């Protein structure tokens, strides 16, 4: 159990492409904003095929090219206990979100939403699954995730300032 003020969980299907990218990018954005001590971050997948695996090599290469090292991350599956620990459960696409919502306790009072709700990218609500596509897809994932991460940091800054005001 973390002692952080806010606990955030990123969710995709395999936890080897999109959610580890969000995990690594968001941690870097928190460091830049000096919020790391207040916020705990993790990521997971709704599927179990890749449990224990490091992020996909294409994901790691695309992230490293922008300065994010994802090599320490290991895939895990979403668990029902996550509802008890996480204040924000942020899904990459509608299918991931529906898979989490179907198991949510009726009294879960955290936020269950799409990560791109925090992005300023218009006309796009999901981070597309890059697994079966080309290299461009991994770059696109990074750009979308950088945008949503910046939006989420701003949102949390407002929330935390509001709490202490
Ligand atoms: P992710 O991508 O959900 O962004 O980690 C995928 C990884 C693996 C598979 C699908 C999507 N898969 O079918 O194994």
* Whether the CB of 20 sits within 6 Å of ligand 1: no
Q: Alpha-carbon distance 32 to 154, whole Å? A: 12
| Residue 161 pLDDT | 78
pLDDT of res. 54: 98
The residue whose C-alpha atom lies closest to atom 9 belonging to ligand 1 is 14
> Tokens at residue 109, please?
């009072």
Residue pLDDT tens, the chain, 165 long: 688 899 999 999 999 999 999 999 999 999 999 999 999 999 999 999 999 999 999 999 999 999 999 999 999 999 999 999 999 999 999 999 999 999 999 999 999 999 999 999 999 999 999 999 999 999 999 999 999 999 999 999 998 877 765
Closest atom, ligand 1, to C-alpha of 13: 3
Task: Indicate whether residue 29 lines ligand 1 (CB < 6 A).
Answer: no
Quick check: 152 and 32 in contact, CB under 8 A?
Answer: no
With H, G, I as helix, E, B as strand and everything else as coil, classify residue 41.
strand
The catalytic residue positions are: 12, 18, 129
The reported pLDDT for the residue numbered 3 is 83
pLDDT at res. 72:
98
Decide: pTM greater than 0.75: yes
Q: What domains are there in the chain, each with its CATH number? A: 6-160 (3.40.50.2300)
Query: For residue 42, what are the β-bridge partners?
Result: 9
pLDDT of amino acid 114? 98
């Amino acid at each position: 159990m973390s002692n952080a003020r806010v606990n955030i969980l990123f969710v995709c299907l395999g936890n080897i492409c999109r959610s580890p990218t969000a995990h690594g990018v968001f941690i870097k954005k928190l460091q830049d904003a000096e919020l790391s001590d207040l916020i705990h971050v993790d990521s997971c997948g709704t599927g179990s095929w890749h449990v224990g695996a490091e992020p996909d090599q294409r994901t790691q290469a695309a992230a490293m090219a922008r300065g994010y090292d994802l090599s320490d991350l290991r895939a895990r599956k979403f668990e029902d206990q996550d509802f008890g620990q996480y204040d924000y459960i942020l899904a990459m696409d509608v299918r991931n979100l529906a898979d989490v919502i179907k198991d949510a306790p009726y009294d879960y009072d955290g936020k269950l939403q799409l990560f791109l709700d925090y992005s300023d990218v218009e006309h796009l609500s999901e981070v597309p699954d890059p697994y079966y596509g080309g290299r461009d897809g991994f770059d696109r994932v990074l750009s979308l995730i950088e945008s949503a991460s910046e939006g989420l940091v701003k949102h949390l800054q407002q929330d935390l300032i509001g709490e202490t005001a």
